[in-house]
């Protein structure tokens, strides 16, 4: 298997029924370990399932867990790093595309330390409409509690020094290629 580290890949996010929810045109792979895929992006093009297109505003490091039910987008803003954590299926790589299923529940950690849980109504709606079973519901709710604890304790991946180191690696690796 050829290493994807140092290459650009796409990202595809699905819903529980297999429908494509959102796609990012590119992320630069910094790490592909047994547990995580780490990518960096700047001005990535995003296409929503309704056809709306937009570009990400700030540089970001995204950490996709391969075994746990989350991925975290670490947005590098002027006032610090803002972490947006999707409760989602473990991620996988299929050719040059990172794929996962989004389960609506999200948590956000702001630079000032505030933690906010998002999209609980959307989750309840989709749990019914997509028919998430009790086992899946338990996994997703457990993961949300686990992520909030990690956010409050600033445990991986919610650690500014790690995110800044990954971003520095991205700048160095892409500078060599240009």
> What is the C-alpha to C-alpha distance for residues 71 and 91, in angstroms, rounded to an integer?
8
**pLDDT at res. 1:** 46
Task: Find the mean pLDDT for residues 163-174.
Answer: 96
Q: Are 64 and 37 in contact (CB under 8 A)?
A: yes
Active site residues: 22
Burial class for 170, CB neighbours closer than 10 Å (0-12, 13-18, 19+) = buried
CA–CA gap between residue 6 and residue 119 (Å, rounded) = 34
Q: How far apart are the first and last CA of the chain?
A: 26
**pLDDT (tens digit per residue) in 17-52:** 999 999 999 999 999 999 999 999 999 999 999 999
Q: What is the pTM of this model?
A: 0.94
For the stretch 88-145, pLDDT in tens is 999 999 989 999 999 999 999 999 999 999 989 999 999 999 999 999 999 999 999 9
Please determine, for residue 8, whether its predicted confidence score (pLDDT) is greater than 90: yes
């Amino acid at each position: 298997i050829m290493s994807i580290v140092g290459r650009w890949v796409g990202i595809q996010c699905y819903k529980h029924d297999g429908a494509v929810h959102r796609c990012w045109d590119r992320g630069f792979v910094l790490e592909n370990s047994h547990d995580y895929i780490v990518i960096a992006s700047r001005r990535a093009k995003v296409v929503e399932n309704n056809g709306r297109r937009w570009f990400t505003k700030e540089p970001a490091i995204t950490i996709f867990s391969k075994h746990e039910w989350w991925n975290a987008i670490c947005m590098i803003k002027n006032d610090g790093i803002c972490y947006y954590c999707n409760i989602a299926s473990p991620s996988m790589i299929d050719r040059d595309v990172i794929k996962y299923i989004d389960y609506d529940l999200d948590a956000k950690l702001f630079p000032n330390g505030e933690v906010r849980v998002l999209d609980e109504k959307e989750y309840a709606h989709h749990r019914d409409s997509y028919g998430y079973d009790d086992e899946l519901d338990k996994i997703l709710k457990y993961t949300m509690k686990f992520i909030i604890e990690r956010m409050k304790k600033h445990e991986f991946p919610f650690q500014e020094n790690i995110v800044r180191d990954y971003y520095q690696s991205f700048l160095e690796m892409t500078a060599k290629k240009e």
